[in-house]
Structure 1
Amino acid sequence: MPSSDKPTVVLVHGAFADASSYAEVIPRLIARGLDVVAPAVPNRSLIGDAAYVASVVRQIPGPVVLVGHSYGGAVITVAGTEDNVEALVYLAGYALEKGESLGELQGRFPDSDLAAALVYTPFPIEGSAAPGTDVSVRTDKFPAIFAADVDPELAAVLAVSQRPLAAQAFADAAPEAAWKTKPSWGLVASSDHTINPDVERYGYQRAGMTTVEVDSSHLVMLAHPERVVDLIEEAVRAVSG
């Protein structure tokens, strides 16, 4: 159990990925004396995923710095209203406004390369006659769109081990926007082909975040882990006094 005398860093992964996307960040944070939790996000709906992450946060004694990558940014926007969340860090992520959905925010800007590479697959929903829809990325397109500056062998593994995102997650409107009351930091991946970098910039600027730009693919945590750790540490120091 993390100690309660300093912030615990909670790392929230995004769509088409799992907590292993923080594999280069986690050991660096631990080496710097920070407690870390990296939960598995269900990736079923924004409301449900945020509720799950909020439940994880509530069980952590003491303050939390909540970090979200990509779709995980939308999740922390909602889950970050928990009382013990002291700061938010967005990594190539969606910073939604209250009442806004992923689809609405993305719709303000030209599509990224991701839009043409998505695959839609039905999946059964317990207790429902109608199936849900899983969204994933074509495996042959995944490395270039998601991980252009990541080791090609690793990118190939990530491509075939995706954690799909249910289409419902794109439609859910954020019931809250934690950045309105919590200090926030944002990293723009300026060579991102998964999310249009202007989507990231717009959300961060609207929220008044402290923002940095890194010439990186979408998976900035694997491509530039030191830059990510530095930003997280900046947030930790700010809320640690």
Structure 2
Amino acid sequence: MNAAPDMSAQEAGMPTVVLVHGAFAGSSSWNGVIAHLKRRGYPVIAVANPLRGVQKDAAYVRSLLDSMPGPVVMAAHSYGGLVMTEAADGAPNVKALVYVASVSPDVGESVIGLISKYSGSQLASSIKMVPIPLDNGGTTMDQYIQQDKFPEVFAADVDPDTAALMAVTQRPASASAQEEGVTKAAWKTIPSWTLISTQDQGIPPDLQRFLAERAGSTTVEVAASHAVAVSQPGPVADLIDTAARATMS
């Protein structure tokens, strides 16, 4: 990964956009958003989120943030919101947080804990658990969405052929990633924006609204599935651009 920002963009005062994907997806899920942002002149880095647990993943992302000299706007999807919330806390170069069909947890909150408080998520009934051996001789569990259920649960408004490919190439998350809570909450000190996907069957829209209001986040709503960055990259890029421009004013 080349973490060096584009110097001409930096000289123009443009922040680097750092994108953090969530569970069951990869960096390529941001491709459409990246294209929009690059056309507007933004330097962009899409992090390969390890999906091994909030603390491990946040430490990985924070190391990237610490290597970047210029201002940063972060955007995160789904579970990536926990990682961003933990990693950005206290990072002086992070000027804005953008939650995309995501969660903005408070200290101690996890994905499973938050989703269980609201109806509408189909994730729990769609997960396949796969045991993974550890170096110490033990095992952990990786979680996948069953391929036949993936399009409906994750990407209902994505082109069917693309959704089928996403199901096959999905990145599993460790069970601990879904169960582990954050120890920091960057949205308490960094301005935030939230895109709520109103047809989301992964993270219930009402949960997204509650979290956005609690964080004092500037909010937009888009009629889209959980995979809004794939199905509607334009509105996602627009919100990131709005957040970035706010940091430059």
Q: Normalized against structure 1, the TM-score is what?
A: 0.97
Secondary structure class of the residue paired with 2:123? helix
Q: Is the 8 A contact 2:115 2:121 kept in 1?
A: no
CA distance in 2 between counterparts of 1:176 and 1:202 reads 19
Q: Is residue 2:107 matched to residue 1:104? A: no
In the alignment, which residue of structure 2 is the partner of 1:129? 137
Q: How big is the shift at 1:171?
A: 2.0
How far residue 111 of structure 1 moved from its aligned partner, in angstroms, is: 4.9
CA distance in 2 between counterparts of 1:169 and 1:199 reads 19
Residue aligning to 2:169: 161
Moved >6 Å (runs of 4+): none
Rounded to whole Å, the distance in 2 between the matches of 1:146 and 1:11 is 19
Of 47, 72, 84, 1:76 maps to 84
Offset at 1:87? 0.4
Partner Cα separation in structure 1 for residue 242 and residue 132 of structure 2: 41
Aligned-partner residue type, residue 175 of structure 2: A
Match of 1:216 in 2: 224
For 1:140 and 1:208, locate their aligned partners in 2 and report how far apart those are by CA, in whole Å.
38
Q: Residue in 2 aligned with 1:24?
A: 32
Query: What amino acid is aligned across from residue 130 of structure 2 in structure 1?
Result: T
Q: 1:39-70 CA distances to partner (integer Å, 9 max, x unpaired)?
A: 10100001110111111111112110010000
Structure 2 Cα separation of the partners of residues 151 and 84 of structure 1? 37
Matched with 1:62 is 70
For 2:230 and 2:111, the matched residues in 1 are separated by: 24
**What secondary structure, in the 3-state scheme, does the structure 1 residue paired with 2:102 have?**
coil
Residue number in structure 2 paired with 1:95: 104
Partner of 2:129: 120
* Structure 2 unmatched runs, 5+: none
**The one of 157, 171, 184 aligned to 1:176:** 184
| Distance in 2 separating the partners of 1:231 and 1:36 | 15
* Count of residue correspondences: 240
- Structure 1 letter corresponding to 2:171: R
Work out whether residues 120 and 201 of structure 2, in 8 Å CA contact, stay in contact via their aligned partners in 1.
Answer: no
CA distance in structure 2 between the aligned counterparts of 1:37 and 1:60, rounded to whole angstroms: 11
Question: TM-score, normalized by length of structure 2?
Answer: 0.94
**Aligned partner letter, 1:79:** A
Q: Unaligned regions of 5+ residues in structure 1, if any?
A: none
| Alpha-carbon separation, structure 1, partners of 2:64 and 2:107 | 22
